[in-house]
Structure 1
Amino acid sequence: MNFEEALEVANEAVFVEVGRRLSKVEVAILKGSWDNLTYEEIASAANYSVAYVKRHAGPELWKLLAEALAEKVSKNNFRFALERKWHRHLNSTLTTVNPKEKFKLVINRTQKTAQYYVEDLGNEIKLNMVLIKSGSFLMGSPEDELERSDSESPQHLVNINQFCISKYPITQAQWKGVAALPQVNIELEADPSNFKGEERPVEQVSWYDAVEFCDRLSSHTKRQYRLPSEAEWEYVCRAGTTTPFHFGETITTDVANYDGTDDEEHKWSGSYGRGPKGIYRGETTVVGSFEVANAFGLYDMHGNVWEWCLDDWHDNYEGAPTDGSAWVDDNNNLSQKQGRAVLRGGSWINNPENCRSASRNNNNTRDNHNNNIGFRIVCAAGMSLHRESRQVGICP
């Protein structure tokens, strides 16, 4: 039995047990252990922390395999356990159980209220801005969070001042309304998006385009609009939670738009943790179409489109501000800024690990126009506030 055969047995056994494939780090641990590497060597080769591999991911993998194979499994004996499974020729029956029936997340829905104001953009186009009250939160991910990155460290306490943020990512209708306003610094294309739809998020807009959108709206309304700081974005995404997603420990494609299928070539899993696999829609969805908000009343914080933040990219949080402000370097002239900015939230084309509350992305320069990148906006002071009731969903 070779490693590829062993991996096939492990993947199918786990798929039957919890409805997902092994994650990247689990495959790395399995392969490293197969090659008799130590946890330290596995962590170094896979670019994970030793503590995470040794104390969390490794033990969790052996526990998961023990449940899937119905026998004791450890780093020392897993090869024999997989070989026994192989030689009993159970592969043909492993996929007979419908994983959706085996493992199904339940969304608990409750009613809450949010305060908001409406910006009238003309031509019956409205922009809902939700009030976010002041508070503090722990920014970044803990070292034992599955599929985390070192760029999410160190965790640090951040104090946030009250502000308002758009309820959804900016839509194509809202974009067209503001793009028709007088130019401030640069020209804006009226209809840049690849996936057309008035209520779909605008995409294929650069960071500079998003800044110009804010400048035009500010000039028109006499209120100061801008992109959110990275700290503000994570604060509103978490909405008081400390789990990988504001839904809870995992996520499903029933409540968010991301790639829930496996990528065998790159060993990417369409599931997160013990959550199920899902579907791949291959395009954006209408904002708010899943009809489940987080506790702050915001929609589509996980998936659909990546969202530009105001901050310059930094490789980690060493020296990051703790007052919720954007972390920017010398040049404060936004229209002339160079380098990379921060993207948050994941998108329709990404796996669930990229959609975590703490996940950060710098794979695109400020002038990129990709069909999986959009944005939402913030305002420090709004108009008269209204109240609305909305459903909040939590995955137990």
Structure 2
Amino acid sequence: MAHPRSTPSPIAALVLALLLAGCGDKGAQGPAPEAAGRDPTVTISGDEAVVVPAWQPAPVQIAVGDEPKVLAEAIAALDAGKLFGGDRDAMPLLIELHARLPDDPEVSRVHARAVAMLLAEGDAALAAMDTDPNGLRHAHEVGEVARTAAADAPTVRAYLSRVDAADASVQLDHRGERELQADRLGEGDTRGALQYFREALVKRPGDARAAQGIAAVESALIRRAETAAATSDFAQAETWLQHAAPIRPGMSTVADARLRIGALRTERVNTLRDQGLALLMRDGGLPQARRILSDVLRIAPPADPAATELRERIDLVAHYGLFRPGQAFTDALRSGARGPQMIVVPHGGFRMGARDGETDALPNERPLHYVRFDRGFAMARTETTVGEFRRFVDATGYRSRAVRRGHSIVYDERSGNLVRRSGVDWRHDYNGAIARDDMPVLHVSARDAEAYAHWLSQQTGERYALPSEAQFEYAVRAGSEGSLPWRSRIPPRSAGNVTGSLDRSPTGRTWRNAFQGYGDGWWGPAPVASFAPNAFSLHDLAGNVSEWVADCWHEGYRRAPADGQPWVNPGCRTRVIRGGSWASAPAQVRAAWRLSTDGDTTNARLGFRLVREL
């Protein structure tokens, strides 16, 4: 009688086949022939070669009929994340099971799951190799297990290609670092560190070591640029920056370096410019200034304003040889007489106003600001004298403000005060007596001074005027930066006609607010040029008499002209007085001191001097 055929399960079929095969237990056969015959894998990590041996699964003993139990054990190992390393981990068990039951769907499914988990662990090791020194080694170990478990699987072959690419990137990184250490950067068309690091990134995108190497190449090129700039070779510095610019285009490092080098270049050019301008102030300094200009033109960018300024100034000195800084001259008048002696003041720049922390400074003396004279000017060597003003009055019949008004302000020795006195005008001294011709003219208003300047301009054909505030302070300072025209708090011996504690009036009066320990022998104005000139060869700017300037009064320097021109509002009545006098307190002798007063003011402490355009 025929019995119905029942299809055995794959496991049962395998058990039956094993029984028919006798004693052929594959679990006791040892490693697969492929694993036993493979050579160890060698990879490069850092500076050392790392040998990763071929993986051999541990021998697995599976008794006939225990396959389901072993499969369950393999699944449990998978769930616990135990892939290989131990003889009862998932991969040794599944390799043996898969070899015995290649067609069993459950074994194949679990085997495929194990291979996928294995490759995921390997990819994680590759991803961590930039921070984990053992990452690449572990990725190789995974590769050896995967090669044994499923050598022909496309996923395994793809993974092994990724491991090979990681090996290549490490070797390229190492080669790039050697080139970097040897300063072979690979800029331009040369081959060096940059090319190796870029190839490493192609092999393994995201290679942090290669990215760091590329940044190091950029930094090395920037250092080359800064080294060249330090020797004023700014053309070579720019060449290195141009090589560095395309390396990491999204970063600001090259742009920042270009700004730093540009600032250094500007500083060097400006320093040379100032040296050249200073040389032009000296006799015989023109050839040296021309050599300075050659250095400026070598390092300055095209159309640099400092280079242009120095070149124009040299041209002025070379081709306008009538004047030179510090030169004294007089202009001829139509009458055949000579005008006041003028001194050529060098052009340049200075910081105008009260310095930070300056004692006795007033708000109207600020803000401190930079003023530059693009062209020099001439200033009268002394205050305008009584004799010079007399020549103007005699020639024109001019009637000054005090003459028309019939009075002015004089010093009264009896009371020690300044008082109004009738019949006093430009012909009189500080106390109302008739003045000598070599004394500074007093009792003149701003308009009187401007009338004299207008007459002098007509007589000479040149432009005379009251100085601007900026011109006056520039001349007072004469290159100094302190609050006073002198280095010390107390004026040096015979510095000028200012109030000193040692001064005595004709009746023995002394000053209540004066420079302690100083005396100049004068109570009231002294004849002009009685004291030594300053560094610009100008006399009495800090003392003797205060002086009118051309500016209208403003409560501070916000929006003041930066070119040194007078700050004038049409029709203004309130004017500016500058410079200390024989009766000024020490605070009023400061270079930044300024005072407002009506333009019609006349008194015993106030005179003027003129400037002339060159």
TM superposition shift of 1:340: 1.1
**In the alignment, which residue of structure 2 is the partner of 1:276?**
517
Q: Distance in 2 between matches of 1:175 and 1:219?
A: 15
**In the alignment, which residue of structure 2 is the partner of 1:319?**
559
TM superposition shift of 1:283: 1.1
TM superposition shift of 1:241: 0.6
The AA in structure 1 aligned to 2:599 is R
Name which structure has the greater RCO, CA cutoff 8 Å, separation 6+. Answer: 1
The AA in structure 2 aligned to 1:118 is T
Please state if 1:341 is matched with 2:581.
no
TM superposition shift of 1:185: 10
How many residues of Structure 1 are paired with residues of Structure 2 in the alignment?
A: 257
**In the alignment, which residue of structure 2 is the partner of 1:297?**
537
Q: Is the 8 A contact 1:199 1:286 kept in 2?
A: yes
Q: Is the 8 A contact 2:442 2:603 kept in 1?
A: yes
**Deviations, residues 253-277 of structure 1 (Å, cap 9, x unaligned):** 7321122239xxxx96312xxx634
Which of the residues 144, 152, 159 maps onto 2:372? 159
Mapping for residues 1-396 of structure 1, pairs under 5 Å: 114-120=326-332, 126-160=339-373, 161-182=375-396, 191-195=426-430, 196-250=435-489, 251=491, 254-261=494-501, 269-271=513-515, 276-278=517-519, 281-290=522-531, 292-329=532-569, 331=570, 337-362=571-596, 364-381=597-614
**In the alignment, which residue of structure 2 is the partner of 1:31?**
none
Percent identical among aligned pairs is: 30
Q: Is the 8 A contact 2:326 2:346 kept in 1?
A: no
**Deviations, residues 259-301 of structure 1 (Å, cap 9, x unaligned):** 2239xxxx96312xxx6343673311011112x1111110101
Q: Distance in 1 between matches of 2:583 and 2:492?
A: 14
The AA in structure 2 aligned to 1:114 is G
TM-score between both structures, scaled by the size of structure 2:
0.39
- Greater percentage in strand: 1
In structure 1, the gaps of 5 or more residues are: 1-110, 332-336, 382-396
Q: Distance in 2 between matches of 1:350 and 1:208?
A: 23
TM superposition shift of 1:318: 1.2
The AA in structure 2 aligned to 1:288 is A
**In the alignment, which residue of structure 1 is the partner of 2:63?**
none
**In the alignment, which residue of structure 2 is the partner of 1:42?**
none
**Deviations, residues 212-253 of structure 1 (Å, cap 9, x unaligned):** 000111111111110000001111111111012232233257
TM superposition shift of 1:198: 1.1
TM superposition shift of 1:346: 1.4
TM superposition shift of 1:177: 1.3
Q: Distance in 1 between matches of 2:348 and 2:512?
A: 36
Q: Is the 8 A contact 1:261 1:279 kept in 2?
A: no
Q: Is the 8 A contact 1:343 1:360 kept in 2?
A: yes
Q: Secondary structure at the match of 1:127?
A: coil
How large is the Cα RMSD of the aligned pairs? 2.8
Q: Is the 8 A contact 2:329 2:342 kept in 1?
A: yes
Q: Distance in 2 between matches of 1:171 and 1:259?
A: 21
Q: Is the 8 A contact 1:172 1:202 kept in 2?
A: yes
Q: Distance in 2 between matches of 1:328 and 1:241?
A: 27
Q: Is the 8 A contact 2:372 2:562 kept in 1?
A: yes
- Greater percentage in helix: 2
Report the structure number with the largest CA radius of gyration: 2
Q: Distance in 1 between matches of 2:436 and 2:612?
A: 26
TM superposition shift of 1:162: 1.2
Q: Distance in 2 between matches of 1:184 and 1:159?
A: 36
Q: Distance in 2 between matches of 1:351 and 1:185?
A: 32
Q: Distance in 2 between matches of 1:188 and 1:339?
A: 17
Q: Is the 8 A contact 1:247 1:294 kept in 2?
A: no
In structure 2, the gaps of 5 or more residues are: 1-281, 284-324, 404-424, 503-510
The AA in structure 2 aligned to 1:213 is Y
Q: Secondary structure at the match of 2:573?
A: coil
Q: Is the 8 A contact 1:284 1:304 kept in 2?
A: yes
Q: Secondary structure at the match of 1:180?
A: helix
